[in-house]
Structure 1
């Protein structure tokens, strides 16, 4: 069995005295692990930093085997992201989310957002927006996607302002007004692929929305704690845009 495609390094761990087991994210083969011989050498250590883009050539005698990676560097993103704390938090959070999904299953939409996140890591606002969209796609991939296409109470597609915590469906301003304190805010930028947040409050509301459903349907359901890096990432974005 063999395949070769572009990948991003997610993490590594030591294997023996000289090798490393490397975890990558690919578009066609999902999150994938493999053995890199000599992965602990100084030369390969620079290549195997999380966030770096590589060409991954994977081979195994049988598909269920761990297999062996040959990795060719494409972009050393890690050296640039080390200068941006928000980018490192975003990378760690995205990796934690991806590990909730089955290994080797492809999730092209998540891969595409991950790639955009790496490419735009110098912009706090864009990284924040992309992470909210990443979490929306994560919920969808896990079978808990939100229905933001129309109002769950009236059927209208106009003036959608809230999301029902019970049904995960959008609610328009008129129908939601009497119960707005019990509904989740719906940032307008999530209603369009090309929509952009107006500021940090839109992003924080986006994280409030995705965080509610991740907590209920994923973390609590699996008996696991939310990644602490998520709170640190949101707090850092708030400090940046509030001028603290």
Structure 2
């Protein structure tokens, strides 16, 4: 059994002397792990850095086996991200969320395209924490946990939506929230408007929103917390937002 495809490196862990067990994400194979022989060596370690886009080849005797991974660099996203702490944090958080939330060997082409777009913005050094929140919104929807931000859950209004129910994931207007206002999660306007970019405070609120549903649904169903890289990124944005 074997396959070849371009893929994103999501994780790499040492195995034995000089090898790595690498998790990659492709449009055709989903999240897939394999043994990269010599992957921790001086000549190959740069290839298997988290966030890189790599031309992959996986070979195994049986489909269910770990198999072996080899690859050639397409885009060294990791090298671009290392110039800035926030950009590096965005890349690591996105890949950690993807590898932790997506079931292995199941196909999620929408999430793959969304992550690829985010990494392209990271490579171009134009990515923001708002872009990460949008990626997480897309991933939640792809997993079947999508938020409904189209209208107010209580009144049906489509204007002045500023809150989200932490229980249902549906939008609510400020006026309709009433005494439950303090229990709601803020809904930054840029998440509903593709042409808006938001500011640091809105990015913080957006990451708090997506983080709540990722932790409760995507990770909670597997009895795992949000990845440390994602928590660290939120703390960075929260500090910037004051």
Task: Give runs of aligned pairs for residues 148-187 of structure 1, distance below 5 A.
Answer: 148-177=149-178, 179-187=180-188
Aligned partners of 1:32 and 1:220: how far apart in 2?
21
TM-score of the aligned structures, taking structure 1 as reference length: 0.86
TM-score of the aligned structures, taking structure 2 as reference length: 0.86
Instruction: Specify whether residues 211 and 124 from structure 1 end up closer, same or farther in structure 2 by C-alpha distance, changes over 3 A only.
Output: farther
Per-residue deviation, 1:32: 1.0
Q: Which ranges of structure 1 fall in alignment gaps of 5 or more residues?
A: none
- Mapped contact 2:164–2:184 kept (Cα < 8 A): yes
Aligned partners of 1:123 and 1:180: how far apart in 2?
39
Q: Which ranges of structure 2 fall in alignment gaps of 5 or more residues?
A: none
Task: Give runs of aligned pairs for residues 102-141 of structure 1, distance below 5 A.
Answer: 102-121=103-122, 126-141=127-142
Q: Whose RCO is larger (CA < 8 A, sep 6+)?
A: 2
The two structures, once aligned, show a CA RMSD in angstroms of: 2.5
Aligned partners of 1:57 and 1:158: how far apart in 2?
49
Aligned partners of 2:11 and 2:218: how far apart in 1?
23
Per-residue deviation, 1:240: 4.8
Instruction: Specify whether residues 19 and 183 from structure 1 end up closer, same or farther in structure 2 by C-alpha distance, changes over 3 A only.
Output: closer
Instruction: Specify whether residues 131 and 229 from structure 1 end up closer, same or farther in structure 2 by C-alpha distance, changes over 3 A only.
Output: same
Range with greater deviation from structure 2 (167-176 or 56-65)? 167-176
Instruction: Specify whether residues 95 and 126 from structure 1 end up closer, same or farther in structure 2 by C-alpha distance, changes over 3 A only.
Output: closer
Query: How many corresponding residue pairs?
Result: 241
